[in-house]
Structure 1
Amino acid sequence: MTQSFSDTAIVACGTIRPEIEFLTAKNFIDTDHIYFTTPGLHQDIRELERQLGKTIEKAKSRAKGVIVVYGGKYCYVNADEPTRLMANVISEYGPEVVRIQASHCMGMLAGQDEMDRIAQEVAGGEPVWFMTPGWVKFRKLVFKGWDKGIANENFPRHTGGAVVLDGIGFMDDYMEKDPEGFLEYCDWMGIPMQAYPITLDRFKSLLTDQLAVLTANQAAIQ
């Protein structure tokens, strides 16, 4: 029997919006309750907590359970409270709220072993800057506050270039419609950028894993 998200709300970082909308169009995600926070909030922890809290409360009022699509240690680093983790944040909302088990959005789409294999395949094992389509589509938000100097400090050390884990055919469309934007993005980073086609099987599995956790939690409460 196919699992259904119809009684579940999804609260996600806007960076992963392209994949969620793709799976919704394919009827894999069949809920009407999908909410997104602003992409790039990993750079503003206070705003991340504010938006996430507000959105989770809204989602809880509309569905029996909530799946939060946010990474862990790479998406939430609290310099003021180093021991406060994303897991702590989510646990405060009770057992009807769970989070997808991944460290960041790239990890939602590909495991570390797969990323290592991809880096070996496309760059001979050289360091690779992995991204998702959302990092391209929402560049101004994801890299808010980054100037060319900050870009030069971060990107060029990735001598294998930038690789976009693309499970939705986003990059082909992007390069066709905005080739100048694509080239300008590469120039700003100071490294080449290429798409690597993947499936969304891992992402789908991580979502259904949490759907099962919600079902178990709800059964335990009853």
Structure 2
Amino acid sequence: MATDTEPACVNLSYRLILIYVSTSYLQLLLYHGVTDTKGLLSDEEVMISAKCRALSKLLPSLKQNGHRVLIFSQWTSMLDILEWTLDVIGVTYRRLDGSTAVTERQTIVDTFNNDTSIFACLLSTRAGGQGLNLIGADTVVIHDMDFNPQIDRQAEDRCHRIGQTKPVTIYRLVTKDTVDENVYEIAKRKLVLDAAVLESGVEVDNDGDTSDKTMGEILSTLLLG
């Protein structure tokens, strides 16, 4: 939602992509110290991952329509896989994570914002999800969600900043019948609870008296309706 300090046209829309296969076998290789996975797996095998396949369909479409993208993951090992995926898809990108020197981060941000030939920016959710202004993008892809939905919201806000002139769209990749769905449901409940606490912390009765609503009452209202 646009604020008083942001252009009215900057409206967030959300799209949920349900997909079926995870990147577990690639992460297993990285877990066991196999970092040069390109020597062991073909590009086709990397694209067995349903999330990578979803990106291979989504990103070219976004690029063709003039959009630019921020892709967030919680794990740098996943960013390694996503780099490989973007190479296979054939799009240009930059990367910023916790290992990126502080002195280099603003340079990466400025380069991405000013060079429209760079289609995507890969970021770790924690390191790249706060304090950066990446208004060169108008689309955010959350590859894997955080249990704390506010962390993901901070990441989404990287391109929903003062100076943004385009509508901002958020995509969340959720693997069907996996822990992804549970994380997504937990995050939704937390956002509902946050809203309830903010909106219902204090009530005014008909006599003008105020009464604090306890957390138990708020939870009862949410659970029982």
TM-score, scaled relative to structure 1: 0.28
Structure scoring higher RCO (CA < 8 A, sep ≥ 6) equals: 2
Q: Which has the larger radius of gyration?
A: 2
More helix by share: 1
Question: Scaled by the length of structure 2, what TM-score is found?
Answer: 0.28
